[in-house]
Structure 1
Amino acid sequence: MKKGNILIVLLLSCILVTGCTSQEILERIGLVTLIGYDAAEEDKVTATSVIRQINPELQSKVEVQSETESTSRGTRVKVDMKTSKKLAAGQLRVILFGEDLAKNGIEDALHTTMMNNEISTSIYLAVVKGTSKSLLEYPYKDVTDVGQHIYNLMDHNIEQQHIISSTLHEIVRDNYSEVRNFALPILRKNGEFIQFDGTAFFSHGKMVGNLPAGDNFYILMMQDNFKDSTLELVLDGQSIDSSKFEEKQLQIAIDSIKTKRKIKVVNPEQNEFDLTIDMKCRLLEINSLIPTSDAKLLEKIEKAINEKVKNELSRILKYSQEVNSDIYGFGEQYRAQVRGAKLTDQKWREMFQDMKVNVDVDVEIIRNGVFE
């Protein structure tokens, strides 16, 4: 084929493809950036939508609309009837669930969201202490777009490994797994601020427990490896054994934390695991009376950190077993390491509550301060 004919074919193809594309004019649509769901009376659901609307001068206005119906689709129709523009969910960034709804179960909401081809699987999910409606409708003084603010808040803290990652893709994957559960961050309103309040544990789509924000570090440590993190600790001062320091408690801060997690099945018949955490860190802050240049004293600090972290991990793991929510992947490791395991949902739920985990932590302080 001649070059001229090839060019004509390419141009015609471009015209045809352009003609088939559905176009949306920005000034004629309302962009839904966040949706909050709450349990309502008579098994209904209240949906609160944060909508950004852009006028012909490219100036944007944010409004919050709330409606109650039997289904999330029904609430969207009601909100549509109150707005002058067509609602589009393509820019949805966050979905929130009120505490009561989370306890009743969010599997239907997850299923409905996954069926909507407008919505990206990279959106974030979270639980709200109380109701999402009250969180979203409050007139914050320094927040002009509450939807964008919450998205930025979650995105930043997930990237910094301060809270667990909770994209729609990750949550749906874990929810449909027979041997793993999922967890979501908890948000709450604190005066004029929105902050993280902890982690919600789920089993079969229902919130079955929660732990405070101070435990996030240890939850994340058991879920995955740390690349760079910071932690404040209160150690047993007597274990440091310093003649210059006689306080009962020693407060320290460590950063540049890097960890490697390993889960190994050591006795399938007895349902026994080894959980090993290797942690390297920098000693950032410590009482000025402690001579950190003393190698023997530094070893005692490492040992004290070992014991502290080990006790915290054991405590949180015990709580996870009490609420029967395996968000760490012990079931996946058992299935992968034990030939012919044939785990079912019911079988693993029984095994998880009774499993024995030997926790071992190995801490190495690689630097003291910024000059070493």
Structure 2
Amino acid sequence: MRNRGCFGLWTLLFLLLCGCAEPRILEEVGLITTYGLDLAKNGSILGTIVELKIDPRAAQDVVILETEAFSIRGIRNNANKKSSKRLASGQLRVIVYGEKLLKQGNTGIAETLTNDPSVSDLTYLAMADGPARDILQVKAKHIPDIGIHLFDLIDQNTKGKVIPSATLQEVLHSHYAVGIEPIMPILRKEGKEGIGFTGVALFKGSKFVGKISTHQSFYLNLIIDKYKGGIKDIKIKSSKLKPRNRRLNKTVASIDSLDSSSDIKLINTEKPEFDIDIKLSGRLLEITSKVDLGNPETIKLIEKAITKSITKEIEKLIAYCQTKESDIFGLGEIYRSSVRHSKLTDEKWYRMFKEAKVNVNVDFSVKRTGLIE
């Protein structure tokens, strides 16, 4: 079994206390709302901390602190030397990892871990497309507090199913459990004053091994979660559907009011084979073809084309993850719970997942129709 401990260290080390029984006056405490972790040149960790000051005398409410150390505890201790207030992590909401740090995988960090009850299991984790410090150093008039901005950005997009959820609790479960790998949304600095999502990071143990786009994350959500609401543009192909715009040379169906459910079954234990059944319905809001939506046969044609397109996209996603040996779908967990005495290990499942057969069955139906472009 491979060593998964290091990845957990980066995350769990944020659960350390500095004098947990010590009473604190709010005005005397600097609240850490966001951490950024990057790999420094000498092999140490560069920590970027967003500190919120609750002090009417302070010139500014939010302060960015940077320091280097070989451990998370060291980063916090060194940051305390630069702060006029005692740093506390009770309001920690987001942890951003630099891409190079996660690419390295095992960094050899070793710390004594102590659970901090003040840190929420719902703290969001994310990876930066580049250095984490670049994300936390963004300054703009519409972002007075980068910590709150990042939390709101991740929170609303997670709840809107734009990106899959990656809380502290979820990432730790996926990291330590055999048969499932963690995921994180990827943040990127856009221009001088913007921050946006570029996709989802895939892991093999503690190491970042690949990424999928935000477009593909929609199909990931269809597999691992129930979809409620939202909107999605889906490219479809059919010889009977003629694009209204010849320049596009394709038909796009815009679906909203989405409602989905998924079911994964292990159907062959000798050579792992799974059935993934997805039921999806939605309102056909718009379509870029000249069609008669009052004709039931036309609706059936569109449903068939959308079903085929979604099936193909999901198959491509699964195939890509197999090449990276990153089971972000949890197929290994299903195999382990279904096969008694499987004695499944990470290394064993990597080999099995890579060769596993996955049958994707999609059933899409149109609830009702809206407008035609």
Common fold: TM-score over 0.5: yes
| 2:27 paired residue number | 27
CA distance in 1, matches of 2:277, 2:112: 39
After superposition, the Cα gap between the structure-2 partners of 1:232 and 1:327, relative to the gap in structure 1 and judged at 3 Å, is same
| 2:351 paired residue number | 350
After superposition, the Cα gap between the structure-2 partners of 1:197 and 1:179, relative to the gap in structure 1 and judged at 3 Å, is same
Q: CA deviation at 1:289?
A: 2.6
| 1:307 paired residue number | 308
Q: CA deviation at 1:116?
A: 3.8
| 1:332 paired residue number | 333
Note the 1:8-87 alignment, pairs <5 A.
22-56=22-56, 61-87=61-87
TM-score using structure 2 length: 0.88
Q: CA deviation at 1:23?
A: 3.2
CA distance in 2, matches of 1:339, 1:220: 29
Q: CA deviation at 1:215?
A: 1.1
Q: CA deviation at 1:186?
A: 0.2
8 Å Cα contact 2:50/2:63 also seen in 1: yes
Q: What amino acid maps onto 1:208 in structure 2?
A: V
8 Å Cα contact 1:240/1:304 also seen in 2: no
Q: What amino acid maps onto 1:44 in structure 2?
A: S
Comparing 159-168 with 342-351, which one deviates more in the overlay? Answer: 342-351
Q: What amino acid maps onto 2:305 in structure 1?
A: A
After superposition, the Cα gap between the structure-2 partners of 1:360 and 1:33, relative to the gap in structure 1 and judged at 3 Å, is same
Q: Per the alignment, in what secondary structure is the counterpart of residue 61 of structure 2?
A: strand
| 2:123 paired residue number | 123
8 Å Cα contact 1:245/1:290 also seen in 2: no
Comparing 112-121 with 75-84, which one deviates more in the overlay? Answer: 112-121
8 Å Cα contact 1:114/1:121 also seen in 2: no
Q: What amino acid maps onto 1:78 in structure 2?
A: N
CA distance in 1, matches of 2:112, 2:147: 21
| 1:286 paired residue number | 287
Q: Per the alignment, in what secondary structure is the counterpart of residue 280 of structure 1?
A: strand
CA distance in 2, matches of 1:278, 1:341: 31
Q: Per the alignment, in what secondary structure is the counterpart of residue 215 of structure 1?
A: helix
| 2:8 paired residue number | none
After superposition, the Cα gap between the structure-2 partners of 1:43 and 1:117, relative to the gap in structure 1 and judged at 3 Å, is farther
Q: Per the alignment, in what secondary structure is the counterpart of residue 121 of structure 1?
A: coil
| 2:369 paired residue number | 368
After superposition, the Cα gap between the structure-2 partners of 1:96 and 1:166, relative to the gap in structure 1 and judged at 3 Å, is same
After superposition, the Cα gap between the structure-2 partners of 1:84 and 1:161, relative to the gap in structure 1 and judged at 3 Å, is same
1:173 aligns with 2:173: yes
8 Å Cα contact 1:54/1:60 also seen in 2: no
8 Å Cα contact 2:138/2:194 also seen in 1: no
Q: CA deviation at 1:340?
A: 3.5
CA distance in 1, matches of 2:162, 2:241: 29
CA distance in 1, matches of 2:317, 2:86: 47
Q: Which has the higher contact order (CA 8 A, sep 6+)?
A: 2
Q: Per the alignment, in what secondary structure is the counterpart of residue 303 of structure 1?
A: helix
How many equivalent pairs are there?
Answer: 350
8 Å Cα contact 2:178/2:333 also seen in 1: no
Q: CA deviation at 1:60?
A: 6.0
Q: CA deviation at 1:75?
A: 1.6
TM-score using structure 1 length: 0.88
| 1:163 paired residue number | 163
CA distance in 1, matches of 2:328, 2:45: 27
After superposition, the Cα gap between the structure-2 partners of 1:253 and 1:114, relative to the gap in structure 1 and judged at 3 Å, is farther
8 Å Cα contact 1:238/1:249 also seen in 2: no
CA distance in 1, matches of 2:263, 2:110: 31
After superposition, the Cα gap between the structure-2 partners of 1:47 and 1:302, relative to the gap in structure 1 and judged at 3 Å, is same
CA distance in 1, matches of 2:114, 2:124: 13
Q: Per the alignment, in what secondary structure is the counterpart of residue 153 of structure 1?
A: helix
Residue segments in structure 1 that go unaligned for 5+ positions in a row:
1-19
CA distance in 1, matches of 2:266, 2:111: 34
Q: What amino acid maps onto 2:30 in structure 1?
A: G
Q: CA deviation at 1:284?
A: 0.7
Note the 1:130-149 alignment, pairs <5 A.
130-149=130-149
CA distance in 2, matches of 1:220, 1:169: 18
1:18-41 deviation digits (Å, cap 9, x = unpaired): xx9753211111111000000012
Q: Per the alignment, in what secondary structure is the counterpart of residue 74 of structure 2?
A: helix
CA distance in 2, matches of 1:315, 1:173: 26
CA distance in 2, matches of 1:134, 1:344: 38
CA distance in 2, matches of 1:352, 1:112: 34
CA distance in 2, matches of 1:106, 1:120: 25
| 2:210 paired residue number | 209
1:275-299 deviation digits (Å, cap 9, x = unpaired): 1111111101113732111100110
CA distance in 2, matches of 1:177, 1:218: 23
| 2:276 paired residue number | 275
After superposition, the Cα gap between the structure-2 partners of 1:288 and 1:314, relative to the gap in structure 1 and judged at 3 Å, is closer
CA distance in 2, matches of 1:112, 1:277: 44
CA distance in 1, matches of 2:161, 2:104: 29
| 2:253 paired residue number | 252
| 1:13 paired residue number | none
Q: What amino acid maps onto 1:99 in structure 2?
A: E
Q: Per the alignment, in what secondary structure is the counterpart of residue 52 of structure 1?
A: strand
Q: CA deviation at 1:106?
A: 7.3
1:148-172 deviation digits (Å, cap 9, x = unpaired): 0000001111111111111101111
Residue segments in structure 2 that go unaligned for 5+ positions in a row:
1-19
Q: What amino acid maps onto 1:332 in structure 2?
A: E
8 Å Cα contact 1:69/1:75 also seen in 2: yes
